[in-house]
């Protein structure tokens, strides 16, 4: 049995979170205790901390340990996985924080990302901004030996990006536009290239992100807001029209929550095009679809949420180098500097992409 104490950041309410000493929890029969090695800072962690969105606990409040993009080492194995010989202490692993029940009709239909009985580590159950975290054993994935803990902690966002790219259904040679060059948007660029895109156009508002996009496979960069940028493009619709000789883009994926980008996607997509909305807008935001033009061009609009059965593929993409995570992971802080990590992510100080806490 585990004994002793651990450090854990306890979120109470917006702008109130303390590093505390807590008992190391013991795994229930169906759980593993994991010693956390790396945990990424997600936009949603920033939003929870500053009160821009609420937790999924019953009352939307803490106390809760945040952090859901993590990897670590198995420290203790509960009775069920132990009896099946599934895990050993010392195994290097990453964890799907979206712990679906595998029992409801939604899960039985394979729509596990939409399970209504799910617990989400770091969102409705304790997460990984701590030295140890508990997980149900069925949501734990072994890390290939060549995959570092930091890269392993990127599996969660990458699995969501992989699911979105599968929804994008790229055909060989397609012109694919990615709007939003955050860490996931940039991994979507790499995955789109690997899926057969002929040309990937990456559009955003910050040059350092666009330039990282170039290193992971973007063919054309467009800065939509910074007039001093060498990639500045005053009218992206016209530019894509020119570059595609009037065809417009076959595939567009919106990896930002901006409704402006969601509208732009409708403008720059062509005949039989497919648009995927992936970034999260505000809960009152609406998108206006030009209905007739969309029908006349036989367009498809899809939405993509979390990840269903793409964890193995995401790990393969990291291991094989299809997605190089090292340019995407720009900052790393020790656990006791989580606050700095949150501020860097929020204020984009020092040109961050993915910011990590490492132990
Ligand atoms: Zn996340
Ligand atoms: Zn379920």
Distance 39 CA to ligand 1 centre (A): 10
pLDDT in tens, 243-300: 999 999 999 999 999 999 999 999 999 999 999 999 999 989 999 999 999 999 999 9
* Structural domain includes residue 147: yes
Give the number of C-alpha atoms closer than 13 A to the C-alpha of residue 166, restricted to the C-beta side.
Answer: 16
Residue 1 has pLDDT above 70, yes or no: no
Closest listed ligand to the CA of 69:
1
Ligand with an atom nearest the CA of residue 280: 1
For residue 2, pLDDT over 70 is answered with no
Domain contains 313: no
Please tell me whether residues 219 and 235 are part of one structural domain: yes
Does pLDDT of 359 surpass 80? yes
126-169 pLDDT per residue, tens: 999 999 999 999 999 999 999 999 999 999 999 999 999 999 99
* CATH number, domain with residue 296: 3.40.50.720
Give me ligand 2 centre to Cα 107, in Å.
4
62, 55 in Cβ contact below 8 A? yes
Of 21, 20, 102, 34, the C-alpha closest to 70 is 34
* Last residue in a domain, options 303, 318, 339: 303
Residue 3, pLDDT score: 72
| CB neighbourhood size of 359 (10 A) | 18
> Do both 239 and 107 map to the same domain?
no
Do residue 243 and residue 177 come from a single domain? yes
Domain assignment present for residue 281? The answer is: yes
Average pLDDT score over residue span 81-104: 98
Domain of residue 65, residue span: 5-154+328-358
Q: Which percentage of the chain shows pLDDT scores above 90? A: 98
In a domain, 231, yes or no: yes
**What is the band of 113 on the pLDDT scale with cuts at 50, 70, 90?**
very high
Residue 308 falls within a domain, yes or no?
no
Is residue 311 in some structural domain? no
Backbone angles phi, psi at 297, to 5 degrees: -100, 10
The predicted pLDDT at position 230 comes to 98
The rounded Å distance from CA 71 to ligand 1 centre is: 13
Give per-residue pLDDT as tens, 313-345: 999 999 999 999 999 999 999 999 999 999 999
Q: How close is the Cα of 185 to the center of ligand 2, in Å?
A: 28
Tokens (6 digits) for 285? 């935001």
Separation of alpha carbons 130 and 35, rounded Å: 9
| Tally of structural domains, the chain | 2
The mean predicted confidence, pLDDT, of the chain is 97
Average pLDDT over residues 20-37: 98
209 is written with which tokens? 């992100």
Q: Which two tokens stand for residue 286?
A: 């609406």
Q: What CATH code is carried by the domain that includes residue 337? A: 3.90.180.10
Domain boundary pick from 287, 303, 319: 303
Mind listing the pLDDT tens digit for each residue in 201-235? 999 999 999 999 999 999 999 999 999 999 999 99
Ligand 1 center to 160 CA (angstroms): 9
Distance from Cα 103 to the centre of ligand 2, integer Å: 5
Nearest ligand to the C-alpha of residue 106?
2
Identify the nearest ligand to the CA of 111 by its number.
Answer: 2
pLDDT digits (tens, 9 = 90+) for 42-59: 999 999 999 999 999 999
Distance 99 CA to ligand 2 centre (A): 9
18 located within any domain: yes
Which of the ligands is closest to the CA of residue 117? 2
Same domain, 37 and 143: yes
Shared-domain flag, residues 94 and 205 = no
Domain match, 345 and 285 both? no
Ligand 1 centroid from CA 8, angstroms: 19
- For residues 62-82, give the mean pLDDT: 98
Residues 141 and 51 in one domain: yes
Strand spans (E) along 185-318: 199-204, 220-223, 249-254, 269-277, 300-303
- Write down the residue that tokens 């993590």 correspond to: 70
* Distance from C-alpha of 250 to C-alpha of 11, rounded to nearest angstrom: 44
**What DSSP character marks residue 232?**
B
**Residue 299 located in a structural domain:** yes
Ligand nearest to the backbone CA of 107 = 2
The answer to whether the predicted template modeling score (pTM) of the entire model surpasses 0.85 is yes
Structure tokens at 101: 């029940």
């Amino acid at each position: 049995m585990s004994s002793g104490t651990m450090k854990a950041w306890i979120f109470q309410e917006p702008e109130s979170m303390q590093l505390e000493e807590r008992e190391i929890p013991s795994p229930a029969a169906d759980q593993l205790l994991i010693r956390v090695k790396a945990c990424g800072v997600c936009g949603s962690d920033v939003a929870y901390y500053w009160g821009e969105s609420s937790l999924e606990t019953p009352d939307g409040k803490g106390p809760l340990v945040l952090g859901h993009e993590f990897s670590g080492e198995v420290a203790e194995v509960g009775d069920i996985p132990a009896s099946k010989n599934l895990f050993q202490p010392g195994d290097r692993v990453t964890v799907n924080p979206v712990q679906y029940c595998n029992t409801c009709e939604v899960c039985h239909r394979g729509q596990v990302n939409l399970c209504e009985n799910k617990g989400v580590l770091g969102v409705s159950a304790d997460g990984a901004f701590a030295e140890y975290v508990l997980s149900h054993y069925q949501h734990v994935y072994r890390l290939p030996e060549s995959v570092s803990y930091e890269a392993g902690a990127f599996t969660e966002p990458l699995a969501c990006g992989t699911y979105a790219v599968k929804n994008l259904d790229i055909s060989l040679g397609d012109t694919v536009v990615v709007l939003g060059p955050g860490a996931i948007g940039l991994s979507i660029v790499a995955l789109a290239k690997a899926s057969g895109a002929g040309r990937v156009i990456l559009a955003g508002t910050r040059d350092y992100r666009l330039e990282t996009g170039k290193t992971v496979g973007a063919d054309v960069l467009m800065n939509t807001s910074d007039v001093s940028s060498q990639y500045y493009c005053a009218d992206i619709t016209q530019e894509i029209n020119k570059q595609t000789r009037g065809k417009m883009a076959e595939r567009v994926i919106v990896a930002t929550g901006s409704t402006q980008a969601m509208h732009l996607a409708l403008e720059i997509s062509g005949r039989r095009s497919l648009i995927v909305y992936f970034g999260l807008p505000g809960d009152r935001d609406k998108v206006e679809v030009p209905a007739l033009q969309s029908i006349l061009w036989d367009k498809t609009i899809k939405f993509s949420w979390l990840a269903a059965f793409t964890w193995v593929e995401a790990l393969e993409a990291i291991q094989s180098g299809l997605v190089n995570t090292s340019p995407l992971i720009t900052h790393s802080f020790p656990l006791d500097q989580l606050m700095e990590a949150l501020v860097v992510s929020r204020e984009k100080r020092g040109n961050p992409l993915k910011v990590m806490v490492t132990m």
